[in-house]
Amino acid sequence: MQSAGSAAEGASTNGALTGGSILGEPSDLVRLCLDELVYVKLRGERELVGRLHGYDQHLNMVVGDAEETVMSTEVDEETFEQIVRTRKRKLPLVFVRGDTLILISPLFRQSGASR
């Protein structure tokens, strides 16, 4: 309980530092991304760009109108050069399991970020 109390104190001072905004925790940043275009980096050299429609505490998420980019590297047999191939595809509405997620970022700087 003691540790929980001090952790919350830390959170509240953090809130004061950010001008009393709700931007105290990483999950708050994700909340601000709701209904915004987001860039999501996933395991397996995958990236998604799409509109975030929902997420939960595991960072499972639902992304709409997404474009997925899969990158694969191949080594040329003769020159030993690395060739990076990218494949793109459209995903109209997709549920993404959170355990494959590496990072999520808003695609554009939000005008109301200090809300």
Partner 1 sequence: MFFAALFQTLVGQVVTVELKNDLCIRGTLLSVDPYLNVRLADVVVTEPEAFPALLALRHSCTVRGSCVRYVHLPPDQVDVQLLQDATRQVASAVKAARVRPVGE
CB of 99 vs partner 1, minimal distance in Å: 7
Residue (99 or 105) nearer to partner 1, CB: 99
Restricted to residues 33-72, the positions that interact with partner 1 (CB under 8 A) are 34-35, 42, 44, 53-57, 60, 62, 64
* Alpha-carbon torsion, ordered 44, 65, 57, 41, to 10 deg: 30
By CB under 8 A, residue 107 contacts partner 1: no
By CB under 8 A, residue 91 contacts partner 1: yes
Residue span binding partner 1 (CB under 8 A) among the ranges 2-10, 13-21, 73-81, 105-113: 2-10
By CB under 8 A, residue 20 contacts partner 1: no
